[in-house]
Structure 1
Amino acid sequence: MSVAVFLQGPHGPFFAQLARRLSQSGVITHKINFNGGDRYFAWADFQVDFTGGESDWSAFFSDYLSKNNVDTVICYGDCRRLHTIAKSICESKGIAFGVFEEGYLRPDFITLEFGGVNAHSRTDWSREAINSYLARERKPVKSVGQTFFRRARFAMAYYLAMRVSQSEFPHYRHHRSLSWLGEGVCWIRSFYRKGLYKLMERGLTARLTGELSGRYFLFPLQTRDDFQLRKHSDLVSIENAIEVVLQSFAQNAPKGSMMVIKHHPMDRGFCHYQKLIRELETRYQITGRVIYCHDLHLPTLLDHTLGVVTINSTVGISALFHEVPTQVLGRSLYDLPGLTHQGGLSSFWSQPDPVDPEFFQRFRAYLYDKTQVDGSFSRHIAATIDGVCRRLTEARATERRRQPETEVDLV
């Protein structure tokens, strides 16, 4: 019988409901909690609180896997420090390591891969593999719809529970930098700013789809603590990325072209870059050529832009879908010849490599079949878990071929 251990998951009840479903199918489920927020949303046949420090984790986890005959470990994100250590231990023991992440395709999908996600993905992303793949022509089930308020509620409950139980987990250090109170304040500020920006940015979409259509480049920002930035790029911060892009834009972009910098919606209440952008406009003599916006409809912007610059966000995949030339600054699984610009940022502004639409369609079908599950971590959870169980079944044969000594038999 399969034994699965859950580590940290997305905020909310998704991992608890998945563990319950697997348990009902005969899988023995375990949950390791690292703080009170983990414990508040947790469910499993067996739960344990890890209250030690990072230096204690490796020995604890290795011993836990052996004592409980674990064959599968499941987590959300593979770049959190404790998850990175867990992954290394699983690889040494031949234990399957399943990683969830936000969908590579947005907004109606989540990602599930074994071994790693994003630039750590073990999927073969070579052009040969993509071109030779026979797509199964899966059709998306349904639109997820609005998730912001639900995600915000889950996040606030998580951080409150983490704070209340802080004394029970004295050595825990969260991967996000703010305190529970700081997180709460920022989410409240985010609600306020969402309404404010809706008023302030009235008319901007009409301008970008009218007089400025085809005259601007788009730089959609990522969250300030995104592991895609911290682990999968050589940039040190969002501020650093903004400066790199604006300096290159000033030096190389065609005269008369504009730059639109779009703030990440999940970072709305946490940070603001207006002052920095104005300083850089002055420094690089591009005053009046930069527009900083927040809540405009991204697909509409993509229909009217000259090109997209991204660190490694999945917005890049959306840009490719719209056949928009795209420059990736970090390391990304979709940064491939025929999809993204391969010549570097300085040449991108005037001579961007075009998107090969036929190759992109093959890439998207391959990506969808290999890594994506229809649904969301916060809405339509039961239906999403149906898809996860199907994905686990499909992954079982693949993992057995890769690790013949390991059973991945979750469903």
Structure 2
Amino acid sequence: MNSRHILFLQGPLGPFFRELAALFSHSGYTTHRVVFNGGDQFYAGADHVVAYTNSPDHWADFLLDYLQRHSIESVFLLGDCRFYHRTAKPVCERLGVRFLVFEEGYLRPDTITLEEHGVNAFSQLALSLEDLAGVNTHACSSKAAMGGTMAARTRFAAAYYWAAWFARRRFARYCHHRAFQPVVEGAKWLRGFARKGLYRFQDQKVEQSMRAELSQRFFMVALQVHDDSQMLYHSSYGSVTAFIEEVIHSFASYGPEQTVLVLKHHPMDRGYTHYGRVIRELAERLGISHRVIYCHDLRLPSIYSHCLGVVTVNSTVGPSALLHKIPVKVMGRAIYDIPGLTSQCTLNDFWQYAEPVDIDRFHQFQTLLFDKTQINGSFFTRLDITCANVLTFYEQHFLRRAPVVLLLDEQPVDHLLDEPQVA
């Protein structure tokens, strides 16, 4: 039997794709890896590793040729909105190659996501009310706990960015999806740790008040990472600030007088952004300073039972809140924005007429998502267990049908793309 060929593009910062490729190779697959910068190279590991050093304009043609020459059946990657991955998707679809996207778990903790075609709002999972009605629910719990990941994330990220920096001349034409300076990145991570300590006492006080005098009187707004693909590609907002401004304006006009708005910063964005001044000045101008709170770290499960509702662009805080029967208003595009789960009313109406959560429908949604897209694992800890679970998931879910690989004439494939912006 001929070996199956699979290709890895960019993955999480760290050795996850290296370890996963090693397991696939050990299991009889032929593995390939394309690296785009020194960080990718540092963590590379596959039977065949090739460095792409050409300009972004030629990436689609390179990939087309590579997929055909090596009879690649599946392509693995993290995040479907990065330039190289957005560009790869139509090429894979045209050839009939599986386009398999990893993402952080929809149903955290202890899970990662793997879907074909795309994740989040690009998911092609059947989630209509008719589809959900046929789901037999069961307990959705992961067998192995993954533990904390922050220490590993920090260590892996530092090695990645320094390796990329030292190899920057070789990969001079590489375009990254966010900031790419190791000193700058390191400084922001240090600032994030400092802010965590600085705001700890203040956040504890906020959390205590949410469980006491503010109980059943507050709405929570879950902010997101400023350059996250969820914001950039799955919402109409140009920035997190624009989202904040819309929410506060709406709350000032339509939020019941006795209620309070709590805006929670995203923990992974702590060192990069701070919205304190924007929120304070806007609340003062609208005369609701006494009804607006800005905080950073909260133990969300402990406060959900005290919360009136959650507003988010499309954060994974949404499903967590729904699990606790808390009404959720989605302001962007999200896989879980389904009638009966999230409130379908306007934001202005949400403050007073939030639609209740159909918990039976949520459990159907949770079960379907858990079975079809979730893998027990982590990109940063317990990689042996994670990789074994990924291999099992891949063979159970994606090898039931053989991919159809089409041979195309040698021609540019730029016409397959939507004029991608190189950032």
Q: What is the TM-score when the length of structure 1 is the normalising length?
A: 0.95
**What SS class does the counterpart of residue 112 from structure 1 fall into?**
strand
Equivalent position of 2:412 in the other structure:
none
Equivalent position of 2:124 in the other structure:
122
Counterpart of 1:352 (choices 351, 354, 358) is 354
Equivalent position of 2:175 in the other structure:
173
Which deviates more, 200-209 or 305-314?
A: 200-209
CA contact (8 A) 1:373 1:387 kept: yes
Equivalent position of 1:73 in the other structure:
75
Q: How is 1:249-328 mapped onto 2 (pairs within 5 angstroms)? A: 249-328=251-330
Q: Decide whether aligned partners of structure 1 residues 70 and 136 sit closer, same or farther in structure 2, where only a CA change above 3 A counts.
A: farther
- How many residues were matched structurally? 404
Displacement of 1:17 after TM fit?
0.4
**What SS class does the counterpart of residue 306 from structure 1 fall into?**
strand
Instruction: Name the CA distance, whole Å, in 1 between partners of 2:387 and 2:211.
Output: 39
CA contact (8 A) 2:23 2:388 kept: no
Give per-residue Cα distances to partners, 1:52-91, cap 9 Å, x unaligned: 1110101111111111111111000111111011111000
**What SS class does the counterpart of residue 211 from structure 1 fall into?**
coil
Equivalent position of 2:112 in the other structure:
110
Equivalent position of 2:196 in the other structure:
194
The one-letter code of the counterpart of 1:172 is Y
Q: Any gaps of 5 or more consecutive residues in structure 2?
A: 407-423
Instruction: Name the CA distance, whole Å, in 2 between partners of 1:383 and 1:359.
Output: 31
Displacement of 1:143 after TM fit?
2.3
CA contact (8 A) 1:135 1:369 kept: no
CA contact (8 A) 1:136 1:369 kept: no
The percentage of aligned residue pairs carrying the same residue is 45
Instruction: Name the CA distance, whole Å, in 1 between partners of 2:41 and 2:135.
Output: 42
Instruction: Name the CA distance, whole Å, in 2 between partners of 1:341 and 1:398.
Output: 37
Counterpart of 1:206 (choices 201, 205, 208) is 208
Displacement of 1:390 after TM fit?
1.7
Equivalent position of 1:381 in the other structure:
383
Which deviates more, 209-218 or 123-132?
A: 123-132
Displacement of 1:191 after TM fit?
1.7
Displacement of 1:141 after TM fit?
0.9
Equivalent position of 1:82 in the other structure:
84
Counterpart of 1:64 (choices 46, 61, 66) is 66
Q: How much is the aligned-residue C-alpha RMSD, in angstroms?
A: 1.4
Instruction: Name the CA distance, whole Å, in 2 between partners of 1:61 and 1:393.
Output: 24
Q: Decide whether aligned partners of structure 1 residues 191 and 305 sit closer, same or farther in structure 2, where only a CA change above 3 A counts.
A: same
CA contact (8 A) 2:223 2:240 kept: yes
CA contact (8 A) 2:215 2:306 kept: yes
Displacement of 1:180 after TM fit?
2.5
Instruction: Name the CA distance, whole Å, in 2 between partners of 1:378 and 1:369.
Output: 22
Instruction: Name the CA distance, whole Å, in 2 between partners of 1:301 and 1:137.
Output: 23
CA contact (8 A) 1:100 1:113 kept: yes
Instruction: Name the CA distance, whole Å, in 1 between partners of 2:145 and 2:69.
Output: 42
Instruction: Name the CA distance, whole Å, in 1 between partners of 2:322 and 2:138.
Output: 21
CA contact (8 A) 1:96 1:399 kept: no
Equivalent position of 2:229 in the other structure:
227
CA contact (8 A) 2:22 2:45 kept: yes
Equivalent position of 2:244 in the other structure:
242
Q: What is the TM-score when the length of structure 2 is the normalising length?
A: 0.93
Instruction: Name the CA distance, whole Å, in 1 between partners of 2:180 and 2:169.
Output: 17
Displacement of 1:274 after TM fit?
0.3
Equivalent position of 1:409 in the other structure:
none
Equivalent position of 2:186 in the other structure:
184
